[in-house]
Amino acid sequence: MPGEVINEAILIIASVILIGALVGSVYVSITYIGGAMTESSLHGSQKLLTNIQIDYATNITSTTIAVYIQNTGSVPVQSVPLSTVYFGQENDELPIGFGSPAPSWNTTATILNPGQTISINITSSTPLSQNQYYSLMYVTPNGISASYTLQVA
């Protein structure tokens, strides 16, 4: 009889420990999923509130184009140098690097606040052809893009 009581007590204690471990692992999983959902909704709201437009682009030398980009959204575009720029003859655009050897693009801005306009300079590795159409696309770090086509004068 005393052996049966000890066996039942050991089984009850083991059951409580197993239930505690199960509840703990479920709690950790739920916390992890909740954090991921919060991060995802924050990223989605940032993307919905971000909008940009290219106001104007023109060649200022035979190898340099000045581009004016405006934030028409309601949140700042963070880390402007981490944006991606595509440039090339119409229907033949390629990504170009920031501040690297030509072809490249450059700007002094790091943040593009709502309503603000910044300028970027695109440097081509070869002279631009006159009367040729060139296209460019600016893509923010969170994936919002704007395109512009210009004819080199």
Q: Give the count of beta carbons closer than 10 Å to the beta carbon of residue 143.
A: 10
| Pairing between β-strand 64-71 and β-strand 117-123 as defined by DSSP bridges | antiparallel
Average pLDDT over all residues of the chain: 88
| Pairing between β-strand 104-106 and β-strand 94-98 as defined by DSSP bridges | parallel
Residue 42's pLDDT is what? 61
pLDDT in tens, 71-102: 999 999 999 999 999 999 988 899 999 998 98
110 strand-pairing partners: none
pLDDT in tens, 35-76: 777 776 666 666 668 899 999 999 999 999 999 999 999 999
pLDDT at residue 13 greater than cutoff 90: no
pLDDT band at 7 (very low <50, low <70, confident <90, very high): confident
Pick the more confident residue, 131 or 6.
131
